[in-house]
Structure formats: structure tokens, C-alpha cells
Amino acid sequence: MKKGNPKALLPIIVFLVLYLGLGILFEYVMKVPMGFYNVPIVVMFMIALLVACMQAKGKTFEQKLEIMAKGVGNPDILTMILIFLCAGIFVGVVGRSSAESVAYFVLSLIPAQFSAAILFVISCIVSISMGTSVGTITLIMPIALAVSNASGFALPLCAASVVGGSMFGDNLSFISDCSIAACNGQGVKMKDKFRHNIPKAVPAAILTFIIVLVSSIRTYQGGSVSGDYNLIQIVPYLLVLIGGVAGVNVFIVLMIGIVSGSLIMLLTGTTTFMNLMVSMGVGAANMFETIMVAVLVSAVCAMIREEGGFDALLSWIKSAFKGRRGGLLGMGLLVGTMDIATANNTVAIVMASPIARAMREEYGISGEKVASIMDTFACIFQGMLPYGAQMLVAISVATTSGVALSAFDVISHLYYPFCLLGVSLITIALEPNHQ
């Protein structure tokens, strides 16, 4: 390992100060709705890249471009960009009605007194299928409001069930941008990360289900919620899920989902060919900011690595965290810190991935285990943030419906991230500490 240069980390510090500072200003001082998401993250990374270029003294502009191009041209980055686009198109094709069909179908099968706990299960299923926590909350929160009104269950509990379930899928879905970023950042297959996620996510989900069930069943006041559903619209989700679990190439899985979803939507009369094309375009466009962040982070990280910034950070982490257990915990806290600063778990994973890749070599930890830890801890922290997109969307849906809802009321019932944190720490503690 070459000599580290702590000053080379300045671009990351500049980004975090600007993004976090402006986010706090907009959200809590100026009271701008979704204030953190009004900060142009691409512009903040452009400033960070400018700082990185200014720091690299003794190099011509062409040499700096060459360094950045090598970082951006990494095959893992290109693969990640293409998967992001395919995942966006898939979500655009299957649309809102498919997710609602899943929700109303499951609610129709279960006694109404269990509906608060079932909201958690529904959110898990929908988020795994759609690969987006924010999209899941947007679709399921109106149903959660209806369940709360009809049954008497506390709205914060119903909202927390939806938010928690959405993070379950964000962590486990084969088309989640978090999973894609974690796997491609470490150069591992999705099914291998999935294999390491299951022992943490499933026990945490079961424990959450039990807690929500016990918390809610005594407050049931009668009433139920029902809606129209079309089971055939669930087929694309099932095909993607089955293909992913079976280890089929992610591009093939997504192509199957896009083609089957398009045919089903057209043949059932759910959409027209023209609207389907528009939906595909919108789905792809929704990934553009995430793609630009991945490109810019790759360029910034290439410059930081060239100047010795990662060597300095790795040296500090090694002195603070000893052994494999310490390495895994350090990776988890690293991505968690990035998430607190950016309020975006995908961005946090993309930023932390190059550092974690270097750490795994030092600690002798497999790439799939690193990808699992990063994805898991990013979802844990994101699920707890009162200013995260997931929480803000849930509150916004309630407010739009004329219901007052506080982020901290929801957090007090947000059992899944805390259960997942507990299970993850136990898993790390059981890890052999030698390489």
C-alpha cells in the first residue's frame, strides 16, 4: 500500500458539507418540502470533481481526463448503468396497477384484523418486485391510510409497516438500484449477494411481522379494505423474481420482465402502445440522475485514488477496526455515514464501493459478503432517516390526504430497520475474526 494523502479526501468532504448543509438549510430552516431533494446532487458532485482536479497538481488537464476516464470506463460501471436503464424501463412498463393488484389480492386473502401486519408483507412483496422503496411507499401508503381509517389501527404503525417493508425489498430485490450498485461495485453476481442477505433480512422480517401483529391486533375496531385486482399483472414480477433467484443473467431477467409486462399490459387493454412507449421513456429517464451520479462518483474516486486519498482512509480504518469483524463493521459504518450525509442509499453505496473494495483485500473478505454488508447497512440507515425520501414521501401522502403525521411518530414504530441492524450485528459477531 502506497503512502496515503489525507488531503486528497477533500473532494468528498466538500461534497458532504455542501449537500448536507444545503439540505438542512432547505428542509429545516427554510421549511422547503422535500428540502434535501431540492439540492442538485449532480451539481454538488461536479463541484467535488472540480476540487479533485484542482488538487491534482503537477498533472496536465489531459492527464487528469485520462485518470477520470479510466475510472468511468470500468466495466462494472458500464454494466451498472445498463442495468439501471433496464430496471427503469421495467418499472415504467409494469406501472402502478400491477403493484396495487398485489396489495389488494393479498388483503383479500387475510382476515382484516391482521391487516396492519399484512401491510408489511405486502410492502415487502411489492418492493422486491418493483425494486424501489420510494415507489412502493407511493403506491401502498394510500392503502395504509384506508386500512388505518377502517380498522382503527394507529396510522404511524401502518405507515411504519409500509416504510419498513419497502426497505426489505430495497435490500433484496434483483432490480433494486441499491443491489445493482452494491454488486457491480464489488464485481459480484446478484445471486451471491442474495445468498448472504437472506440470513439477515428474513429473520429480521419475521421478527418485525410478529411485533407489528402483536402491537396491532388488540386495537382492531372492525372494518376492512378491498379493491380491484388483476392477477395476470403480477406475472412479470414473478418472472423477474424467479429468474433472479435461479441465477439467470440480470439482463436476460429484465428483458423477460419488460417483454412479458408489455404484452400483458397491451393484451389486457391496460395501456395503449403509444402510452407504453411513453412509460418506457419515463422509466428510463427516472434513472438518469442515478446514472450521472455513478459516472461522476467514479471520476471523483479515480482522482482521489490517484492522489493517495483512499490509502490514507484505509490506513485509518485499519487502525480503528481490527480483524474481519472489525472490517465488516467498518464497511457498514462507512456506508451508513455516507447515507446520513447524502440521504440516498444508492449514492452512499456508489461512494463507498471503491473504498470497501480496497478494504476487502486488506481484511480478506469475499466480494459478495462486502456487497451484502454495504447494501444492508445502507438500507438500515436510510430506513431510519427522518429526512430520507422514504419517510418524506410517506408523510407527504398522509398530508395530501389531510392527515397530520410526524416522522418521529413513524420512527417509533419502525421495527424492521432496527431488527435488521440487530441481526446484522449478531451476524458480524459470529464471523471468524481471522483471515
DSSP class per residue in 312-380? HHHHHHHHHS-HHHHHHHHHHHHHHHHHHHHS-HHHHHHHHHHHHHHHHHHHT--HHHHHHHHHHHHHH
Predicted TM-score of the model (pTM): 0.74
pLDDT of residue 412: 86
C-alpha of 356 from chain center: 17
d(CA 3, CA 312): 7
**How many Cβ atoms from other residues are within 10 Å of residue 21's Cβ?**
11
Query: Rounded to 10 degrees, what is the CA torsion of 126, 131, 132, 136?
Result: -10
**Which whole-number Å values give the CA distances from 93 to 89, 348, 354, 409, in the listed order?**
6, 28, 33, 35
Task: Tell me if 122 sits within 8 A of 107, measured CB to CB.
Answer: yes
Q: What is the pLDDT of residue 423?
A: 94
> Exposed, middle or buried by CB within 10 Å (0-12, 13-18, 19+), for 109?
exposed
Comparing CA positions, the residue from 407, 408, 389, 387 lying closest to residue 398 is 407
Query: In angstroms, how far apart are the furthest CA atoms of the chain?
Result: 73
**pLDDT for residue 417:** 93
User: What pLDDT does residue 108 have?
Assistant: 76
Q: What is the pLDDT of residue 388?
A: 74
Which of 42, 18, 37, 16 shows the shortest CA–CA distance to 27? Answer: 37
Closest C-alpha among 131, 167, 390, 345 to residue 258 = 131
Per-residue pLDDT at 372: 92
Which residues have a Cβ under 8 Å from the Cβ of 60 and sit 6 or more positions away?
none
Which of 379, 375, 390, 387 lies closest to 416 in space, CA to CA?
Answer: 379
Q: Tens digit of pLDDT per residue, the chain (435 long)?
A: 456 788 888 888 888 788 878 888 887 788 777 666 678 878 888 998 999 888 888 888 888 989 888 878 777 677 768 877 887 788 788 766 666 677 777 777 777 778 888 889 888 888 887 777 877 787 788 788 878 877 778 888 889 999 999 899 888 887 777 888 888 888 888 888 888 999 999 999 999 999 999 888 776 666 666 666 777 877 887 787 777 667 677 778 888 888 988 998 888 887 889 998 998 898 888 778 778 877 887 888 888 878 887 777 777 877 777 788 888 888 898 888 878 766 678 878 887 888 888 888 878 888 899 999 999 999 999 888 776 778 877 887 777 667 777 777 888 899 999 999 999 999 999 887 665
Which pLDDT belongs to residue 1?
47
- How would you class 396 by CB atoms within 10 Å of its CB: exposed for 0-12, middle for 13-18, buried for 19 or more? middle
